[in-house]
Amino acid sequence: MKRLRRTMLFVPGNNPGMIKDAGIYEQDSIMFDLEDSVSVAEKDAARFLVYQTLSTIDYNGKELVVRINDPTTKCGIDDLESIVRTQKAIIRLPKTESAQDVLICEYEIERIERENGIKVGSTGMMAAIESAAGVLNAKEIAFSSKRLVGIALGAEDYVTDLKTKRSPEGVELLFGRSMILLAARAAGIDAIDTVYSDVNNEEGFRKEVELIHQLGFDGKSIINPRQIKTVHEIYTPSRKDIEKALDIMDAIEEAHRKGSGVIALNGKMIDKPVVARAQRTLDLARAVGVLK
Amino acid sequence: MKIQKTAVAGTMESSDIMVTIAPNEGNGMEIDLDSTVEKQYGKIIRRTIEETLKELKVHDARVHAVDKGALDCAIQARVKTAAYRASGEQSYQWGGEAK
């Protein structure tokens, strides 16, 4: 089973306390931020801190991601120069508007890999889409590089670009979310949803996670460790779903044994998509440890 | 790397260390440490500061550090940041010694 990306915890890159604590939670990924959460005057300090952290701290198998600054600036290049060398983290490109943005970043990554004897292609990438142009180009972004493991929605900038604001129901995000999800699925990579900033609104957060789970997202960016449990709960297959999936797989096996072409379970035909969904449920159940 | 002016990096928040580096032309390394864990880790923190500066080829510097329980990686990062700021050097050396 591929790596789980249910929860990606944002950690400001210039905060040693939060960087230290980030390892003690159950999130699937840690995203160290060198971009918006770091003031211009502290970019160098954050870069050194994240570099030294990646070089020394073992986060016990969690996926590590670093959100860099615009790679067409010296600041963004310095971020890449330091982070790519560690070979410990995926590079998250912010404010991606086109395939060209990804390719510019990839060009620099490849240059750094070559200059430092690092296997070309070994650094993974993730692209955050945060504008109307980015959403409209989601497909070409998702297909732009083999390094991409996923694309993510950054809703705060996106809604500002749309000239609206976020609502509790998230209706303004439906098109953007759907575009990003479809592009990711077509390209065979992950789709990661945006953050939910109101950490005290647990009910609103739960509803949003249920929505993105239903839409098909692989996971969500989070800004507080308190949000981890809710996401994992919603992303864990229910006992009922697991039993149904096991029944489907049993029925398939039985039919194959009998050489039967048509497979039915409880009077319902089982076809390829049903089997694929059942398999995914079982894979996820095993990955999260609720099924042996 | 030559320390040209006084520069600071880090904060007084928990798990951080505030490092001030100033020129000390011809007088070697002087480290003054104020730490919440001075008794237990004072020696190690001083050594980390000194080794990080040696890695950057800084020979003369006055360092004042106020530690609030920073991990090694945070100490190294803050010392490097302060040293680069104090030297005015903008071309960073990653994963190797400074020239």
| Cα–Cα distance measured from residue A19 to residue A45, given in angstroms and rounded to the nearest whole number | 13
A138, A249, B98 from A132: Cα distances, Å:
10, 42, 44
Pairing, β A125-129 against β A264-265: unpaired
Amino acid at B86: A
* Residue written as token pair 């239903």: A214
Q: How confident is the model at residue A263 (pLDDT cuts 50, 70, 90)?
A: confident
CA neighbor of A181 nearest in space, from A146, A147, A141, A218: A218
pLDDT at position B97, please? 41
Contacts of B85 in chain A (CB under 8 A): 44
Instruction: Give the CA count within 13 Å in the CB-facing half-sphere of B47.
Output: 4
Containing A185, the helix (H) or strand (E) segment is: helix A174-187
Q: What are phi and psi of B97, to 5 degrees?
A: -80, 150
**3 state SS for A106-144:** HHHHHHHHHHCCCCCCCCCEEEEECCHHHHHCHHHHHCC
CA neighbor of A153 nearest in space, from A125, A184, A123, A188: A184
The closest CB to that of A44, out of B70, B72, B81, belongs to B81
Are A135 and A128 in contact by the 8 Å Cβ rule? The answer is: no
Contacts of A52 in chain B (CB under 8 A): 73-74, 76-77, 80
Q: What is the mean pLDDT of residues A56-74?
A: 95
Tens of pLDDT, residue by residue over A127-153, are 999 999 999 999 999 999 999 999 999
At a CB cut-off of 8 Å and minimum separation 6, what does A167 contact?
A: none
Tens of pLDDT, residue by residue over A6-47, are 999 999 999 999 999 999 999 999 999 999 999 999 999 999
pLDDT at position B99, please? 39
pLDDT at position A272, please? 85
Alpha helices in A57-94 (DSSP H): 74-86
Is a pLDDT exceeding 60 seen at residue A275? Answer: yes
Beta-carbon separation of A53 and B94 below 8 A = no
CB pairs under 8 A between A and B: 61
Contacts of A20 in chain B (CB under 8 A): 15, 71, 74
Contacts of B73 in chain A (CB under 8 A): 49, 52-53, 55-57
Token pair, residue A196, equals 């939910």
Determine contact: B71 vs chain A, CB below 8 A.
yes
Q: What is the mean pLDDT of residues A187-198?
A: 96
Could you give the ipTM of this predicted complex? 0.94
pLDDT in tens, chain B (99 residues): 999 999 999 999 999 999 999 999 999 999 999 998 888 999 999 999 999 999 999 999 999 999 999 999 999 999 999 999 999 998 888 875 443
Determine contact: B77 vs chain A, CB below 8 A.
yes
Q: What is the pTM of this model?
A: 0.93
Q: ∠ CA(A207), CA(A208), CA(A211), 5° rounding?
A: 90
pLDDT at position A289, please? 87
Beta-carbon separation of A17 and B80 below 8 A = no
| Closest alpha carbon within chain B to A84 | B94
A55, A70, A108, B82 from B52: Cα distances, Å:
14, 29, 28, 11
* Residue written as token pair 């440890």: A289
Is a pLDDT exceeding 50 seen at residue A236? Answer: yes
Determine contact: B83 vs chain A, CB below 8 A.
no
Are A47 and B80 in contact by the 8 Å Cβ rule? The answer is: no
Helices (H) and strands (E) in chain A, counts: 12, 10
pLDDT at position B36, please? 87
Interface residue of A15, A21, A51, A52 to substitute, partner B, most B CBs within 10 Å: A52
Token pair, residue B27, equals 């007088």
| Closest alpha carbon within chain B to A15 | B16
Q: What is the mean pLDDT of residues A180-207?
A: 96
pLDDT at position A146, please? 97
Containing B20, the helix (H) or strand (E) segment is: strand B17-22
Amino acid at A99: A
| Cα–Cα distance measured from residue A53 to residue A41, given in angstroms and rounded to the nearest whole number | 20
User: Phi-psi region for residue B26, left (φ > 0), alpha (ψ -120 to 50) or beta?
Assistant: left
CA neighbor of A33 nearest in space, from A81, A83, A74: A83
pLDDT at position A252, please? 87
Token pair, residue A182, equals 């479809």
The closest CB to that of A49, out of B74, B85, B92, belongs to B74
